[in-house]
């Protein structure tokens, strides 16, 4: 029996998709972990609101703000927030900011666009399904060749 080239190609594509999902989930988890370790809290003030629209119609909502760190250093920053928060906040409004005490320029709005663990879990699960399916298809194709 011959090895099915299309079967091998389809298997490799599913393995690549699975690997990409797992890699993306790891990056998202790393971001979640990094933000969860921010130990500084401050009150920030909105200085500007803006958004960008992608070709697919989805928008990313940005908020420019400033806050004073524990060392009383004034920090200007931009963060991504949800559409609902973006619509509610006005220029000059206050918001809570989380930041790294050792690097205050590493900061996010407290209820900003941070990644959820549900998203991370879903991506890991999806990646694992694609990865296992691709590996099983390659094994199946190789066994069919040796029969």
Mean pLDDT of 70-84: 86
Dig out the tokens for 3 from the structure.
């090895």
% of the chain surpassing 70 pLDDT: 93
- pLDDT of 123 reads 92
76, β-bridge pairs: 66
- b/e 55-82 (16+ beta carbons within 10 angstroms → b): eeeeeebbbbbebebeeeeebebebebe
Output 6 or 145, whichever has higher pLDDT: 6
- pLDDT per residue over 113-137, tens digit each? 566 788 889 999 999 999 999 999 9
- pLDDT of 45 reads 95
pTM: 0.68
% of the chain surpassing 90 pLDDT: 40
């Amino acid at each position: 029996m011959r090895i099915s080239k299309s079967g091998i190609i389809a298997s490799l594509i599913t393995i690549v998709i699975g690997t990409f999902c797992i890699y993306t989930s790891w990056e998202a988890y790393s971001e979640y972990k990094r933000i969860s370790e921010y130990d500084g809290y401050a009150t920030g003030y909105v200085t500007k609101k803006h958004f960008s629209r992608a070709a697919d119609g989805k928008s990313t909502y940005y908020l420019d703000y400033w806050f004073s760190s524990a060392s009383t250093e004034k920090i200007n920053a931009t963060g991504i927030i949800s559409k609902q928060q973006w619509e509610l906040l006005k220029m000059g409004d206050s918001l809570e900011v989380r930041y790294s005490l050792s690097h205050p320029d590493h900061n996010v709005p407290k209820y900003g666009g941070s990644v959820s663990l549900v998203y991370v879990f879903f991506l890991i699960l999806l990646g694992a399904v694609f990865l296992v399916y691709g590996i099983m298809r390659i094994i199946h194709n190789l066994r069919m060749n040796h029969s």
